[in-house]
């Protein structure tokens, strides 16, 4: 028996290695999109749960006879959030900045421990530049519960982004939104949260106009003229005025 026969054959040939690498590459190309899809779904679910908690806390605040159905006289989303925090309904700042949202500034690092504190810095080391959500102030008493938005993921999805003015234009969230232009969540006064890939067209909108006069694809038209749409540090839009910042 030769020395080669004793040792036997070891290792792989170059062709076998190339085949193995090709198979691994094919498996990875199939696996990575599936993993990304699962991760994105989990991220959306977590964001929806955060919005649900915000909407639930708002409902609890409004149903308290002392407060009435309104968070008014606020100028920023931070002011809005602090109303719920200082009254004991929601004091977790993490609800306002979603995981994986590169556009949100995660500077709010702890819950408010002193509800009587007037210092916004109790929420973090500095004023926030952005939330993952827009919050809506000055919703009047008697607003329709199931069709009136109270908060939604960042970005105002309306056809103003399309300069053609076509009534068939689909209103999408902007690319700078929390989930890009893939869609966003809207939380309504009754506490339910819905995911929208888009808000439809002007002729076939997915929201109800304020006052129940028909469908709309403009989230601002689903709000009363008294309302204000707030980001963390200012006013984003005033329904009925056409003003957006």
> Is residue 3 situated within a structural domain?
no
54 φ/ψ angles, rounded to the nearest 5 degrees: -65, -50
> Is residue 8 situated within a structural domain?
no
What span, in angstroms and rounded, lies between the C-alpha atoms of 10 and 168? 66
Number of domains the chain is built from: 1
Task: For residue 105, give every residue at least 6 positions away whose Cβ sits within 8 Å of its Cβ, in sequence order, or none.
Answer: 97, 128, 129, 130, 232
> Is residue 59 situated within a structural domain?
yes
> Is residue 6 situated within a structural domain?
no
> Is residue 7 situated within a structural domain?
no
**Run of H or E including 136:** strand 133-137
Rounded to 10 degrees, the C-alpha dihedral 15/17/23/26 comes to: -100
> Is residue 223 situated within a structural domain?
yes
Global pTM?
0.78
Helix axes 77-86, 14-63, angle to 10 degrees: 70
What span, in angstroms and rounded, lies between the C-alpha atoms of 123 and 105? 13
Domain that holds residue 205: 13-244
- Per-residue tens of pLDDT for the chain, all 245 residues: 444 554 555 667 878 788 888 888 887 777 777 767 777 888 899 999 999 999 999 988 888 766 565 787 888 888 898 888 888 888 888 899 888 887 776 545 444 444 455 554 445 445 556 889 999 998 888 889 899 999 999 998 877 555 555 567 899 999 888 998 999 999 999 999 999 999 999 889 999 999 888 999 999 999 999 899 998 888 888 886 545 55
> Is residue 52 situated within a structural domain?
yes
> Is residue 1 situated within a structural domain?
no
């Amino acid at each position: 028996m030769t020395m080669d026969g004793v040792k036997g054959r070891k290792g792989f040939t170059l062709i076998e290695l190339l085949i193995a690498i090709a198979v691994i590459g094919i498996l990875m190309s199939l696996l990575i999109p599936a993993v990304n899809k699962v991760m994105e779904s989990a991220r959306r679910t977590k964001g929806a749960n955060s919005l649900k908690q915000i909407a639930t806390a708002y409902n609890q605040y409004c149903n308290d006879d002392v407060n009435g159905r309104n968070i008014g006289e606020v100028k920023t989303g931070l002011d809005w959030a602090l109303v719920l925090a200082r009254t004991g309904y929601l004091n977790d700042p993490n609800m306002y900045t979603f995981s994986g949202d590169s556009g949100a500034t995660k500077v709010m690092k702890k819950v408010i421990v002193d509800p009587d504190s007037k210092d916004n810095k109790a929420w973090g080391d500095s004023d926030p530049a952005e939330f993952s959500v827009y919050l809506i102030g000055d919703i009047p008493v008697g607003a329709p519960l199931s069709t009136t938005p109270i908060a939604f993921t960042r970005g105002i999805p309306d056809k103003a982004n399309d300069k053609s003015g076509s009534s068939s234009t689909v209103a999408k969230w902007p690319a700078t939104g929390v989930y890009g232009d893939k869609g966003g969540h809207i939380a309504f006064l009754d506490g339910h949260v819905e995911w929208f890939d888009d808000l439809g067209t002007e002729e076939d909108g997915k929201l109800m106009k304020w006052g129940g006069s028909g469908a709309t694809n403009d989230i601002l038209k689903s709000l009363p003229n008294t309302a204000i749409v707030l980001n963390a540090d200012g006013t984003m839009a005033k329904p009925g005025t056409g003003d957006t910042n």
